[in-house]
């Protein structure tokens, strides 16, 4: 049926065009090289290299700088995000970090770098990412990772780094699970319950308190916070938190716009600050 | 030579009093001199002829000198000395019977044992020395080493004593001869006193009783070729796993520029080796020997250099020290003014699995919001930073992170000062935006204890100070235990060169005089910043560590995953902080190794909860011998020193003895401590075995005696006669016939004759 809508003479050029896009974009041709979520998960077929974006980072000066991880991903489209691109990792940038850093400065004693950029952006291909013991990753389900990034992800975590993974639903979580297991084999995602220090190291909060209206409305998803422990031992250091059916960054982004309920915004700040402070306490 | 010119020894002149035996009044002698001199001057001055004025002046001067000497001789110059009455006085001869007398360095051409000197001079009745002594005195012999006793026959000397104790030997001989007229004590020794006894009391007693000591030194004052491990200094008590740095003093003669290997052997074998180049300039060098302690308990650590060719003493190349490796848990309080990554990295990587450290963290997360972790109980520091000394002094070390001075009350700041100076704790200030001068700590008691000068910050809040520095050990720090990152000093230094820079946000001033910089940082512009410095203050020590992101040596991309720089550095800093911090009760002995049969004195310091000395404590100890036998000790306050208690016991077994001490007051326990001593045959006689002339000279000077060597000992009997000790009579010795005077007269007359001949006046 589809072919009937296209003149027969145009079939070959269309096929060639599609192949050219696939080759030029450097898209992996095997599933092992990239995310398992699927290349066409959101209907687009091109890959945007995040390394070409004009990003100028804030220099380190002994203060806390919020760091967002960028990565090449299978799905990229134009959209209402920074640089006019919808890349998953840049969702909520920079307003999310602008707001959470201001709240950190206001409510804690952490020496925070306040900047109009909100924070810095680096990928695991860049060695400077090891200068930031706390990093934020948004929607890594579309991450097209390579071996170097996976090795550095492993080293980052085992050296003492902490990752907050956000805006995840089932496909994203499964994809990130595979990334993590390539980095650190046999990694387990453990559900963090209310007794975990992550919910009370600074603010007292429960996973249920941070219900995200969007996920509830769109996926009817119950928010769950997964954690990854060093050696899968809950008695050891927490290395990763994964906000499943949850988008804390979005609540930060819109906290001062009225687009999200006040309670949701407040609770997202609380759990975000708990993540950051807990990462410092190990 | 002196006696050739002056007829008598200098000692006789020293003891005698100059007199003019003719008995003329001085006015008459002056008148006679004037009566002769004036005509002579007038006669010469009136002479006219070939002579010039200069000639007449020279000749009249010579003539007057001759006349003056003759007049002086007519006055019968004499020495009045108190001389021992022959055969009325005793003399004590104290002979060194220690092992060092077996050393073969006596004599000129063919070296013989030092003991040969004793037998040649004192063991032979026909020797000139003994004949003169026997003729004038009644000699009594004594032998001494670790103890002293009467000696009837010199063949009883075995030269096997394990110590040389000069003071007790003098005391013993003095007491033995106290009831008889004593002209003096002759002590024949190398002077290599290796006891802990002081000499002052013995010498004071002899001086008070006018008993001179005549030491006769034997042996070389400087060996031709020898290597000696003079001393080894290391902490006596450390936590298990501590990196230990021992200061080894190596002294050598005749090995300039040669390289030797220093070995350190612990309970499980060799724990460290180091090549040492012996210095060209000077005889001694100090080497830092590094090793890690592992097994709990008291252990001997041996430091040795293999015996080299032609060494004069072969068993002074090894030193053993006792190190007690403890498996205790020390409490450290870490207060941090803001949430920071370094807290987690310290907790998780530096001391996570360390059973010997309990790190209590008190962190200000926000205004009036605090977080506590790592404490023994939920109540500990529940009310915040300690408000009483008793509460603060329970910790061995205090670490203050980025906390401004105003957070603490005036009393709390003084308590931190007292924590170091009075309690003897360790204090560490970490860099941060509220630390050092940036935190307003200048002009507080804490600034006084810090090893760096604090300066007011000059950077603005909008553009705060920040520099990245590449950190390396200073010249001093290269051998310090905390900077050791590899098996050898060279590898460790190389490792430091590979580390990425750390950030500093504080503008601290210079390292204070008396403080030491251990690590320093250089910026890309080659500016130097203090990174780690420390100083002793009162009973404790204070450290400053200026970087804010030490965790970076764990996280940095350049640092391999398996690298342990961050862990090692901080584990070593933590151990440095808690090692040798005293408790309320501290037991010690003056040395940790004793010879069998030697008394062991245990000294215990007792402090109350505020670390103030108390004199009414009940202090007891149980000594456990190697076979498990125990004995109880009651310790008494010394009266001389506040809070100090002592007791003495004599061990009856060789091996390690444990001394467990308890102290309490009014039924309340104040604390306990354990000391260890080893009872073993010591090889102390092999060390510092050269003739110690300085010590022997002191014996003579402080008692009115004289020091002799084998070369001049022949004059000893004459000197002993005028020593003023014992029964004496006054003897006047003529000086008119001094060879020097006749030589002078001949020289003057000859000069006049020669002068006249040269000038054509004869």
pLDDT score recorded for residue B733? 85
A197 contacts chain B (CB < 8 A):
no
Judged by CB atoms closer than 8 Å, whether chains meet at A282 and B347 is answered as yes
With bands split at pLDDT 50, 70 and 90, how would you rate the model's confidence at B387?
very high
pLDDT score recorded for residue A48? 57
Phi and psi at residue B234, to the nearest 5°: -155, 160
pLDDT score recorded for residue B141? 96
pLDDT, mean of residues B465-482: 93
Which of A109, A129, A281 has its CB closest to that of B366? A109
pLDDT score recorded for residue A210? 79
pLDDT score recorded for residue B327? 82
pLDDT score recorded for residue B548? 96
The ipTM assigned to this model is 0.83
DSSP H or E segment with residue B357 = strand B357-366
A38 contacts chain B (CB < 8 A):
no
With bands split at pLDDT 50, 70 and 90, how would you rate the model's confidence at B281?
low
Task: Record the tokens describing residue B588, joined without a space.
Answer: 């010690």
Mutation test of the interface with chain A: which of B353, B362, B501, B555, choosing the one with the most A Cβ atoms within 10 A? B555
Which residue in chain A is spatially nearest to B562 when comparing CA positions? A159
Peptide bond into A273 cis (omega under 30): no
**Burial (0-12, 13-18, 19+ Cβ within 10 Å), B717:** buried
Closest by CA to A266, choosing from A134, A100, A112, A115, is A100
pLDDT score recorded for residue B639? 94
Question: Is pLDDT at A144 greater than 50 in this prediction?
Answer: yes
pLDDT score recorded for residue A100? 97
Which has the minimum average pLDDT: A171-175, B46-50, B80-84, B310-314? B46-50
Q: Is the CB of residue A166 less than 8 Å from the CB of residue A249? A: yes
Q: Is the CB of residue B103 less than 8 Å from the CB of residue B313? A: yes
Coil vs helix vs strand at B669: strand
Residues of chain A with Cβ-Cβ distance to B338 below 8 Å are 108-111
Using left for φ > 0, alpha for ψ between -120 and 50, and beta otherwise, residue B572 falls in alpha
Q: Is the CB of residue B609 less than 8 Å from the CB of residue B575? A: no
> Any idea which residue has 């050791």 for tokens?
B484
pLDDT, mean of residues B41-66: 81
pLDDT, mean of residues B85-100: 92
Judged by CB atoms closer than 8 Å, whether chains meet at B466 and A282 is answered as no
Question: Is pLDDT at B151 greater than 60 in this prediction?
Answer: yes
Which has the minimum average pLDDT: A49-63, B372-386, B524-538? A49-63
Sign of the CA dihedral running B448, B449, B451, B455: negative
Question: Is pLDDT at B566 greater than 60 in this prediction?
Answer: yes
Question: Is pLDDT at B351 greater than 90 in this prediction?
Answer: no
**Residues B147-177: b if buried by 16+ CB within 10 A, e if exposed:** ebeebeebeebebebbbbbbbbbbbbbbebb
Interface of B with A (CB under 8 A): 337-341, 343-345, 347-349, 363-367, 369, 371, 373, 402, 433, 464, 466, 503-505, 548-549, 551-552, 554-559, 561
Structure confidence by residue, pLDDT tens digits, A59-90: 999 999 999 999 988 777 777 788 778 888 99
pLDDT score recorded for residue A18? 45
With bands split at pLDDT 50, 70 and 90, how would you rate the model's confidence at B116?
very high
pLDDT score recorded for residue A34? 43
The two most distant CA atoms of chain B are separated, in Å, by 119
Question: Is pLDDT at B389 greater than 70 in this prediction?
Answer: yes
pLDDT score recorded for residue B762? 67
How many cross-chain Cβ pairs, A to B, lie less than 8 Å apart?
Answer: 91
Q: How far apart are the first and last CA of chain A?
A: 59
A151 contacts chain B (CB < 8 A):
no
pLDDT > 70 fraction of chain A, expressed in percent and rounded: 79
Structure confidence by residue, pLDDT tens digits, A3-53: 333 444 444 444 544 444 443 443 333 333 444 444 334 444 455 566 777
Cα B30 from Cα B432, distance rounded (Å): 89
Task: Record the tokens describing residue B621, joined without a space.
Answer: 């100890």
Judged by CB atoms closer than 8 Å, whether chains meet at B365 and A108 is answered as yes
Residues of chain A with Cβ-Cβ distance to B371 below 8 Å are 201-202, 281
Question: Judging by DSSP bridges, how do beta strands A190-191 and B655-665 pair with one another?
Answer: unpaired
Cα B467 from Cα B482, distance rounded (Å): 24
Judged by CB atoms closer than 8 Å, whether chains meet at A279 and B373 is answered as no
Which has the minimum average pLDDT: A40-44, A250-254, B2-6, B643-647? A40-44
Question: Is pLDDT at B759 greater than 80 in this prediction?
Answer: yes
Superfamily of segment(s) A8-281: Domain of unknown function DUF4159 (3.40.50.12140)
Question: Is pLDDT at B352 greater than 80 in this prediction?
Answer: no
Q: What is the CB neighbour count within 10 angstroms for residue B242? A: 25
Residues of chain B with Cβ-Cβ distance to A111 below 8 Å are 338, 402, 433
Cα B571 from Cα B556, distance rounded (Å): 19
pLDDT score recorded for residue A217? 67
Q: Is the CB of residue B95 less than 8 Å from the CB of residue B144? A: yes
Residues of chain B with Cβ-Cβ distance to A201 below 8 Å are 371
Q: Is the CB of residue B55 less than 8 Å from the CB of residue B48? A: no
- Residue B343 to chain A, least CA–CA distance (Å): 6
With bands split at pLDDT 50, 70 and 90, how would you rate the model's confidence at A153?
very high
Q: Which residues pair with A238 in a beta bridge?
A: A229
Judged by CB atoms closer than 8 Å, whether chains meet at A130 and B557 is answered as yes
> Any idea which residue has 């008695």 for tokens?
A235
Better-scored residue on pLDDT, B72 or B633: B633
pLDDT score recorded for residue A171? 84
Task: Give strand ranges (E) for A158-251.
Answer: 162-168, 190-191, 224-229, 238-244
Sign of the CA dihedral running B4, B5, B8, B13: negative
Coil vs helix vs strand at B223: coil
Mutation test of the interface with chain B: which of A60, A62, A112, A156, choosing the one with the most B Cβ atoms within 10 A? A62
A235 contacts chain B (CB < 8 A):
no
Cα B674 from Cα B662, distance rounded (Å): 9
pLDDT score recorded for residue B652? 92
**Residues A153-181: b if buried by 16+ CB within 10 A, e if exposed:** bbbbbbbbbbbbbbbbbeebbebbbbbbe
Which of A156, A160, A277 has its CB closest to that of B339? A277
Structure confidence by residue, pLDDT tens digits, B11-39: 888 888 888 877 777 778 778 878 888 88
pLDDT score recorded for residue B226? 93
pLDDT, mean of residues B123-127: 87
Q: What is the distance, to the nearest Å, from the Cα of residue B112 to the centroid of all Cα atoms in its chain? A: 32
């Amino acid at each position: 049926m589809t072919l009937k809508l296209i003149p027969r003479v145009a079939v070959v050029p269309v096929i060639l065009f599609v192949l050219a896009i696939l080759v030029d974009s450097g898209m992996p041709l095997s599933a092992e090289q990239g995310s398992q979520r699927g290349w066409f998960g959101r209907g687009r077929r091109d890959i945007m290299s995040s390394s070409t974006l004009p990003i100028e980072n804030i220099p380190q000066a002994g203060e806390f700088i919020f760091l967002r991880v960028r990565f090449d991903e299978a799905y990229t489209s134009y959209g209402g995000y920074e640089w006019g691109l919808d890349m998953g990792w840049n969702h909520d940038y920079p307003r999310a970090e602008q707001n959470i850093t201001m709240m950190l400065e206001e409510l804690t004693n952490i020496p925070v770098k306040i900047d109009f950029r909100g924070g810095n952006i680096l990928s695991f291909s860049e060695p400077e990412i090891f200068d930031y013991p706390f990093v934020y990753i948004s929607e890594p389900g579309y991450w097209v990772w390579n071996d170097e990034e996976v090795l550095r992800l492993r080293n980052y975590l085992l050296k003492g780094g902490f990752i907050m993974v956000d805006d995840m639903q089932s496909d994203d979580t499964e994809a990130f699970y595979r990334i993590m297991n390539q980095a650190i084999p046999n990694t387990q995602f453990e559900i963090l319950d209310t007794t975990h220090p992550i919910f009370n190291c600074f603010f007292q909060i429960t996973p249920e308190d941070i219900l995200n209206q969007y996920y509830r409305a769109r996926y009817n998803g119950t928010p769950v916070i997964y954690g990854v422990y060093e050696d899968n031992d809950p008695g050891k250091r927490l290395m990763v938190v994964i906000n499943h059916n949850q988008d804390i960054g979005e609540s930060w982004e819109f906290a001062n716009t009225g687009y999200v309920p006040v309670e949701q915004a407040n609770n997202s700040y609380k759990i975000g600050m708990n993540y950051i402070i807990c990462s410092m306490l190990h | 030579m002196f006696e050739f010119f002056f007829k008598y020894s200098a000692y006789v002149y020293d003891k005698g009093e100059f007199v003019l035996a003719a008995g003329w009044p001085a006015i008459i002698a002056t008148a006679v001199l004037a009566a002769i001199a004036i005509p002579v001057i007038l006669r010469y001055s009136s002479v006219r002829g070939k002579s010039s004025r200069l000639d007449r002046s020279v000749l009249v001067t010579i003539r007057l000198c001759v006349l003056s000497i003759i007049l002086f001789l007519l006055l019968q110059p004499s020495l009045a000395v108190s001389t021992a009455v022959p055969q009325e006085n005793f003399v004590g001869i104290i002979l060194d019977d220690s092992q060092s007398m077996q050393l073969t360095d006596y004599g000129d051409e063919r070296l013989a044992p030092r003991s040969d000197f004793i037998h040649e001079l004192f063991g032979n009745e026909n020797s000139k020395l003994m004949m003169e002594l026997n003729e004038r005195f009644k000699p009594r012999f004594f032998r001494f080493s670790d103890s002293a006793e009467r000696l009837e026959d010199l063949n009883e000397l075995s030269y096997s004593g394990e110590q040389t104790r000069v003071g007790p030997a003098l005391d013993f001989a003095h007491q033995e001869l106290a009831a008889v007229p004593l002209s003096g004590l002759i002590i024949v020794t190398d002077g290599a006193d290796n006891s802990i006894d002081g000499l002052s009391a013995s010498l004071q007693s002899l001086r008070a009783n006018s008993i001179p000591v005549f030491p006769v030194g034997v042996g070389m004052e400087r060996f031709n070729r020898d290597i000696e491990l003079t001393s080894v200094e290391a902490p006596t008590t450390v936590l298990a796993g501590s990196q230990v740095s021992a200061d080894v003093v190596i002294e050598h003669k005749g090995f300039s520029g040669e390289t030797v290997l220093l070995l350190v052997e612990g309970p499980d074998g060799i724990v460290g080796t180091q090549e040492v180049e012996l210095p060209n300039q000077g005889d001694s060098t100090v080497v830092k020997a590094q090793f890690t302690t592992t097994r709990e308990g008291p252990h001997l650590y041996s430091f040795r250099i293999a015996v080299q060719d032609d060494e004069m003493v072969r068993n002074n190349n090894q030193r053993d020290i006792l190190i007690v490796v403890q498996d205790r848990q020390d409490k450290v309080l870490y207060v941090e003014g803001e949430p920071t990554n370094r807290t987690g990295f310290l907790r998780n990587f530096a001391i996570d699995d360390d059973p010997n450290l309990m790190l209590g963290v008190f962190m200000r997360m926000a205004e009036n919001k605090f977080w506590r972790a790592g404490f023994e109980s939920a109540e500990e520091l529940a009310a915040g930073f300690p408000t009483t000394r008793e509460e603060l002094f329970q910790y061995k070390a205090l670490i203050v992170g980025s906390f401004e001075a105003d957070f603490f009350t005036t009393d709390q700041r003084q308590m931190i000062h007292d924590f170091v100076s009075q309690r003897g704790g360790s204090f560490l200030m970490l860099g941060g935006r509220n630390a050092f001068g940036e935190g307003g700590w200048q002009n507080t008691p804490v600034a006084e204890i810090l090893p760096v000068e604090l300066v007011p910050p000059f950077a603005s809040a909008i553009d705060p100070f920040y520099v990245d520095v590449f950190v390396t050990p200073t010249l001093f720090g290269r051998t310090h235990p905390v900077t050791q990152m590899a098996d050898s000093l060279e590898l460790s230094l190389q490792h430091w060169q590979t580390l990425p820079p750390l950030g500093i946000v504080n503008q601290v001033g210079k390292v204070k005089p008396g403080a030491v910089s251990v690590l320093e940082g250089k910026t890309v512009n080659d500016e130097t910043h203090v990174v780690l410095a420390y100083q002793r203050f009162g009973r404790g020590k204070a450290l400053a560590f200026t970087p804010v992101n030490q965790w970076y040596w764990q996280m940095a991309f350049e640092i391999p995953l398996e690298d342990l720089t961050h862990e090692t550095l901080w584990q070593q800093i933590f151990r440095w902080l808690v090692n040798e911090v005293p408790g309320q009760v501290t037991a010690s002995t003056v040395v940790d190794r004793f010879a069998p049969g030697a008394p062991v004195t245990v000294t215990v310091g007792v402090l109350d909860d505020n670390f103030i000395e108390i004199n009414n404590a009940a202090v007891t100890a149980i000594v456990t011998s190697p076979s498990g036998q125990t004995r109880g000790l009651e310790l008494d306050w010394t009266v001389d020193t506040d809070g100090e208690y002592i007791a003495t016991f004599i061990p009856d077994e060789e091996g390690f003895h444990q001394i467990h001490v308890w102290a309490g007051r009014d039924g309340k326990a104040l604390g306990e401590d354990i000391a260890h001593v080893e009872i073993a045959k010591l090889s102390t006689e092999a060390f510092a075995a050269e003739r110690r002339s300085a010590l022997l000279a002191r014996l003579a000077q402080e008692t009115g005696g004289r020091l002799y060597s084998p070369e001049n000992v022949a004059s000893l009997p004459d000197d002993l006669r005028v020593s003023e000790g014992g029964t004496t009579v006054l003897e006047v010795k003529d000086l008119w016939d001094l060879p020097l005077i006749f030589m002078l007269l001949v020289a003057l007359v000859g000069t006049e004759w020669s002068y006249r001949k040269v000038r054509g006046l004869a």
